[in-house]
Structure 1
Amino acid sequence: MSTSVVLTIEDGLATLVLSRPERKNALTRQLFEQLDEALSHLRDNPHVKALLLTGAGSDFCSGGDINNMGGEVEASVRQATMNQANRVLAALMEFDRPVIAAVDGVAFGAGFSLALAADFVIASDRARFCMAFARIGAVADMGASYTLPRIVGYQKAKEILYCARDLSAQEALALGIVLEVHAPQVFRDRAREIACSMGNMSTAAFSMSKRLLARTFESTLQAQLDAEASAQALAMTSPYFHAATARFMRKEPPLYQWPKT
């Protein structure tokens, strides 16, 4: 079986590369299987502190491979494929360490959805984003109907989904889809720099903060306050907290600091 996903781990940073550059890294069942396996391996590896997700060549991901979508296929078969894709999406969104997507070229359809599953998207200035589903009479999938409105707002999400138009890197930046935009020669290095820096955060504190943010739109204020209090009590008993506060008192450089541009 050919390798559609390349996984490397170096100094606590895991890098997952979608590796079908000849098809703009289009998603297939085989690719989802390999992503699922890789994410399962990473989830159980305590030495991994952050994850960088990117595409081989000059594109991130063109979405589902159209070559595999045609023909008369029973709805149950398509449902099984989507269930597999959704396991990957959930594994990314629930990954308890920082996930950075480095996006070049196209992030279309489910490729756009995949990028939205990351904690942050760093894009090259030639990146283009498109919820292209309407162009082929399909429904937005892999969590797009959940993630996109939470980032851009309900009305703008409808426009992006229904118009199925391209968004430039700069428009995606203005909408909050993308965190930073850089030249193609340096955007991956910047994404890696951010991922490595975030890998120095308290894994426990980051994981609890991520879970708190994930539930905020379905929660009440009191429920969030209670959850925050429980999480903080755990965070403040950790060795990381004691080491970090001791460094602060000694006026030493912090254990974690966001990298300057």
Structure 2
Amino acid sequence: MDILTSKADGILTIAFNRPERKNAITGAMYQTMADALVDADTDNAVRAIVFFGRPEIFTAGNDLEDFLKNAPVGGTADAARPVYQFMRALAGSSKPVIAAVSGAAIGIGTTMLLHCDMVYAADNAKFCMPFVQLGLCPEFASSVLFPAVAGYPRAAEKLLLGESFSAQEAFEMGMLSKVLPLDELQPYALRQAAKLVALPAASVRATKALMKQPKQAGIETAIGAEIELFSAMLRAPEAKEAFTAFFEKRKPDFSKFA
């Protein structure tokens, strides 16, 4: 199974388990995670949700071959795609969501963390949102959430250049709750989830809802605007060059595009 899910002691765990492809996410994997989140939201036995990757990799982001076969086209049809189902379920979850990140979190692997409530990272974690490098634009409200977390200048550097950054830098920008040694990451995240399970569930849900309320409308607006622009840019020559270069294992040449 490329996604492992389990429920125990009030905690739903969702784990990427495709190490042979660096946990690159397919549509089927998105659908499994979306279904698990939707189910958890109405399951009173689930009181906290934890995402895990592997020690060496959280996720390399989208599986590009799978993604390009089912690329977004813009408009309302995209809402039915598994990736949008997953991200909307994550952004709208009433239960607290924890992510425990080790190794690289690339593209949507970083974007999704902006929608989690607590993010813990191992000291080997690396983050990257290389959308501009791929001839694309930010996704799923990262253009709103990341500047709000990191401040505009630092967010601009990471989003415009698309370069990777370390766990320590992510922590200093306010993106992470804590940085831990790799062997302490998973036990710590589960202990934090257990603390949430022991608290009054209604109070936890209400507090999360109150904290998210002021920005929720902006998130929905940003997601819609980003989807339309992302879809259009995906069909543009710059993205074609970026993806062709990726599959040909060469550096893309954007010099001929204005």
2:50 maps to: 52
Alpha-carbon distance between aligned partners in 1 of 2:195 and 2:92, rounded to the nearest angstrom: 20
2:111 maps to: 113
Matches within 5 A, 1:69-218: 69-70=67-68, 75=73, 80=78, 83-217=81-215
Alpha-carbon distance between aligned partners in 1 of 2:92 and 2:139, rounded to the nearest angstrom: 17
For the 8 Å contact 2:48–2:197, the answer to whether it is kept is yes
Q: Secondary structure at the match of 2:148?
A: helix
Alpha-carbon distance between aligned partners in 1 of 2:131 and 2:146, rounded to the nearest angstrom: 14
Provide structure 2 residue ranges, at least 5 long, that are not aligned to the other structure. Answer: 218-258
Cα 1:73–1:44 change in 2 (3 A) is: closer
For the 8 Å contact 1:29–1:81, the answer to whether it is kept is no
For the 8 Å contact 2:100–2:186, the answer to whether it is kept is yes
Q: Secondary structure at the match of 1:199?
A: helix
Alpha-carbon distance between aligned partners in 2 of 1:217 and 1:89, rounded to the nearest angstrom: 16
Give the structure-1-normalised TM-score: 0.76
Cα 1:140–1:14 change in 2 (3 A) is: same
The alignment's C-alpha RMSD in Å is 2.4
Cα 1:24–1:143 change in 2 (3 A) is: farther
Compare relative contact order (CA 8 Å, sep 6+) and give the higher one, 1 or 2. Answer: 2
Q: CA deviation at 1:124?
A: 0.4
Per-residue CA deviation, residues 85-128 of structure 1 (Å, 9 max, x unaligned), is 22211211222222110000011111101122210110000000
Alpha-carbon distance between aligned partners in 2 of 1:149 and 1:211, rounded to the nearest angstrom: 21
Alpha-carbon distance between aligned partners in 2 of 1:19 and 1:36, rounded to the nearest angstrom: 16
- Structure 1 residue identity aligned to 2:97: V
Cα 1:102–1:71 change in 2 (3 A) is: closer
Cα 1:174–1:32 change in 2 (3 A) is: same
Cα 1:66–1:15 change in 2 (3 A) is: same
Cα 1:128–1:217 change in 2 (3 A) is: same
Whose Rg is larger?
1
2:64 maps to: 66
Alpha-carbon distance between aligned partners in 1 of 2:30 and 2:79, rounded to the nearest angstrom: 9
Alpha-carbon distance between aligned partners in 1 of 2:162 and 2:51, rounded to the nearest angstrom: 24
Provide structure 1 residue ranges, at least 5 long, that are not aligned to the other structure. Answer: 220-261
For the 8 Å contact 1:13–1:51, the answer to whether it is kept is yes
For the 8 Å contact 1:21–1:57, the answer to whether it is kept is no
For the 8 Å contact 1:97–1:199, the answer to whether it is kept is no
2:14 maps to: 16
Runs of 4+ in 1 over 6 A off after TM superposition: 71-74
Q: How many residues align?
A: 217
- Structure 2 residue identity aligned to 1:14: L
For the 8 Å contact 2:54–2:102, the answer to whether it is kept is no
Alpha-carbon distance between aligned partners in 1 of 2:79 and 2:24, rounded to the nearest angstrom: 15
- Structure 1 residue identity aligned to 2:166: S
- Structure 2 residue identity aligned to 1:43: D
1:240 maps to: none
Cα 1:77–1:212 change in 2 (3 A) is: closer
Identity value in percent: 28
Q: Secondary structure at the match of 1:75?
A: coil
Q: Secondary structure at the match of 1:185?
A: helix
For the 8 Å contact 1:104–1:124, the answer to whether it is kept is yes
For the 8 Å contact 2:3–2:14, the answer to whether it is kept is yes
Give the structure-2-normalised TM-score: 0.77
- Structure 1 residue identity aligned to 2:44: P
